[in-house]
Amino acid sequence: MQLILLKLLLISVLIISAGTVHAQNNTYLKPELQVILFQKIFKYMNSVEQNKKPKILVIYQQGTTGLKETINAFRDEGFTANSTDKSEFESVITNYQMLYLMPGVSLGNKKEIPAKNKVLTITGDPYLVAAGDAAVGVGIENSKPAIYLNLSTVKAQNHEVSTDLINLAKIYR
């Protein structure tokens, strides 16, 4: 039943896909739609506490656009969301359960820090999932909403995903 609901949500997001953002020749879902999808995805993650919303730290770098909209989208859905520059996240990561990486914000040689702290990395930039910077991502593929999972990163960050979610997602290892 939950799988059917997630599929219906994906279809709904597709219908609303007028809500996409075009940046650097890539298509991203608007932050509001990303948050809605993430909420559904979290229900398929055994390691995400279901009865309370995780605290999210939004990571940006100089030149990042859409930061305020992203933070507001999380807050509008009841999440505690704050932001910090990529160079500062290491000092505050222990206060959060998730890191949201803004599009184009690679952790570079600091990818092990979320894993060490068992903090799940999420993003609206599929390329960051493919590169292993983020464990879970959402985006648009072939004009449809898509879920992206990097199973190596999910495991390294000590999280688990259901087989239902794996079957819906584009998988990276």
118-150 residue pLDDT tens:
999 999 999 999 999 999 999 999 888 999 999
The CATH number assigned to the domain holding 159 equals 3.40.50.2300
Parent domain of 43: 2-16+25-172
Number of structural domains found in the chain = 1
13-40 residue pLDDT tens:
444 444 444 444 356 999 999 999 999 9
44-63 residue pLDDT tens:
998 888 888 999 999 999 99
Question: Quick check: 85 pLDDT over 80?
Answer: yes
Tokens read off for 78: 């009841």
pLDDT at 172: 96
Residue 153: alpha-carbon gap to chain centroid: 13
Q: How far apart (Å, rounded) are the C-alpha atoms in residues 95 and 70?
A: 19
4-15 residue pLDDT tens:
545 545 544 444
**φ/ψ of residue 102, rounded to 5:** -65, 155
pLDDT at 7: 53
